[in-house]
Structure 1
């Protein structure tokens, strides 16, 4: 546990959730977020993936819209 050495697991998960939310403000996919958190915050990709998937379950409508926005954003970038 690199982020909160000595802290409780719930706090660690909350911190990872916050970092995922930050990644999303930059329009990152789950894979991009996993890579960024592994490099910059020493979070194991499996942890990022697990937290991301749980967030998706809890906020299905939001993630559906996020994925649609990401797809539209990438399509627009490819045609410009």
Structure 2
């Protein structure tokens, strides 16, 4: 059972890395792996937490980058909405 457990965890680790490439949050990754790979969210969460412990600086930068991109997207959306409102007020 040890070898198969280790290979299963390695596979989950690899799939989490794929989720990171797609800029997913932990929750998004848990949902995606549950839906598409039939991996229980508790397994994904546990492996994610271990990776986070082992790679603290990476995950801090990753989270900061995700937050910055989300803020930038929100600002752009607000600008587009405001521009649209102004355009509609002219007409």
Q: Same fold (TM over 0.5)?
A: yes
Partner of 2:20: 24
CA deviation digits over 1:50-71, x for unaligned, max 9? 0000000000000000000010
> Where in structure 1 are there 5+ consecutive unaligned residues?
1-6
Instruction: Report the CA distance between 1:33 and its aligned residue.
Output: 0.2
Pairwise CA RMSD: 0.8
4+ runs deviating over 6 angstroms? none
CA distance in 2, matches of 1:19, 1:70: 19
Please state which structure has a larger fraction of its residues in helix. Answer: 2
- Provide the aligned length of Structure 1 versus Structure 2: 74
Partner of 2:49: 53
> Where in structure 2 are there 5+ consecutive unaligned residues?
77-91
With normalisation by structure 2, the TM-score equals: 0.80
Partner of 1:3: none
